[in-house]
Amino acid sequence: MERTEPAQAGAQGPAPEAEIDERGWALVDGQVIPLAEASVSVAAHGLNYGTGCFEGIRGYWQEQHQELYVLRLLEHYERFARSAALLRIELPADPEQMARSTCDLLKGQNVRQDVYIRPLALKVSRSIKVGLRPLRPLVAVYTTPLGDYLPLDGLAVQVSSWRRIPDNAIPSRAKTTGSYVNASLALDQAKSDGYDDAILLDQGGHVAEASAANLFIVRSGTLITPPVTADILEGITRQMMLELADQFAIPCLEREVDRTELYMADELFLTGTGVQVAPVTSVDRRPVADGQVGPITRRLQEQFFKAVRGLDPTRLGWLTPIYDQAHTST
C-alpha cells in the first residue's frame, strides 16, 4: 500500500534493530560505570527465568531551545517501582530519586539528540531454584540514541494467531522481561507474513493491544480504546492521548473492542513510548476506511510531537528539561 508523508517528523536516530553502542555510560546499583562493563553472569536468575522488569523512556532534543526534554519521567519510574514490587525487587531509591539520577546521567554525558532511556531491574543471583526470593537484584539505567520504532506514515498490521497473555498468568500491567516473549512471537509472525506489526486478542477474543503498543480506533468521531482490564499494559502514552482528546473535545470510550471493529473503523492508531503515535492504514490486508491517515489520528499525532518538543505551553508538565535552558514555547 502506498504510504503518505508523516504529519510530523518523529524521533531522529538509529533504528531499534541497530546494535547499541557501548561507548556510553550506565548507572548500575547507584554507580556510574562504562556501559561496556555493565554485565551479568550467564547463570543470573533473571537471564534464565525472566525475573526482571524494565521501562522505556524517551527524551527529545529541541534544537531551538538547546534543551533535552524527557517525557513523563516520573510517571515511568512510578510504574517501574510497581513492576519491581510485584517481582519482590527492592529498588535502591524511590521514583523521584531515580528520576534525578537519570537527569544527572544524561547531563553527565551531554546528550544533545533524541534518546531512549532503559531502566532495568533484574534478579542476578546465580541460582537454579525457580521463585522470587531470596534473590539478589541488580538495578541499572542506560541510554542510547533511538529513532522511530515503527513508520509513522501508515502501518500494515495483522491480527495475530498468538493470544495476549492473560493478567492471571503473567501480569500485563507490569513490564516484566519474561512476558515480552509473547510480543516477540506475535511480531515475528507478522514480520514473516509481510506486516509491520501484530494485534493480539485476549483470551475472550476481544482486542487487547499490539505487540508492544496500545491501540485506539475511531468510529463516528469517537475515540475508542480497550480498557485496562483487557490484559493491556496501562500505557503512559495511552493516557496522554486521552488527555489530548479531552483538550480537543473528542469523545472517548474505554470499552471492549471486537476484532471486526478493526475492519470497520474509520481510523486506527497505536501508541507507546517506542511507537509514539503510529497510524495504521490496513489490517489483514484490508484498508482502514480509505487507507489514509485519518484526521483525528493526524491531529493527535501532530499535537503529540509538538508537545514532546516543548512547543505546547499547555503540556510542559509532561516534560523534564535536562539543561533547564530558558526558552519561550511557540
The pair phi, psi for residue 254, each rounded to 5°, is -105, 110
pLDDT at 1: 38
Residue 86 burial by CB count (10 A; 0-12/13-18/19+): exposed, middle or buried?
middle
Per CATH, the number for 155-308 is: 3.20.10.10
The pair phi, psi for residue 80, each rounded to 5°, is -55, -45
CATH 3.30.470.10 occupies which residues in the chain? 25-145
pLDDT digits (tens, 9 = 90+) for 81-121: 999 999 999 999 999 999 999 999 999 999 999 999 999 99
Mean pLDDT of 156-185: 96
Percent of the chain scored above 70 by pLDDT? 96
Catalytic residue among 107, 123, 129, 175, which? 175
Using CA atoms, how far apart are residues 67 and 62, in angstroms rounded to an integer? Answer: 5
Using CA atoms, how far apart are residues 95 and 72, in angstroms rounded to an integer? Answer: 12
pLDDT bracket for residue 2 (50, 70, 90): very low
> What Cα–Cα distance (Å) separates residue 14 from each residue in 115, 301, 313?
10, 21, 29
pLDDT at 11: 95
Tell me what percent of the chain is helix, strand and coil, each rounded to the nearest 5: 25, 30, 45
pLDDT bracket for residue 4 (50, 70, 90): very low
Query: Is 175 designated active site?
Result: yes
Using CA atoms, how far apart are residues 148 and 151, in angstroms rounded to an integer? Answer: 7
pLDDT digits (tens, 9 = 90+) for 247-292: 999 999 999 999 999 999 999 999 999 999 999 999 999 999 999 9
pLDDT digits (tens, 9 = 90+) for 212-256: 999 999 999 999 999 999 999 999 999 999 999 999 999 999 999
Mean pLDDT of 27-51: 96
Domain covering 25-145, topology: D-amino Acid Aminotransferase; Chain A, domain 1 (3.30.470)
pLDDT at 191: 98
Mean pLDDT of 77-84: 98
pLDDT at 296: 98
Do 213 and 275 contact (CB within 8 A), yes or no?
A: yes
The amino acid at residue 155 is L
Using CA atoms, how far apart are residues 48 and 68, in angstroms rounded to an integer? Answer: 36
Please count the other Cβ atoms lying within 10 Å of the Cβ belonging to residue 120: 21
pLDDT at 324: 86
Using CA atoms, how far apart are residues 72 and 308, in angstroms rounded to an integer? Answer: 10
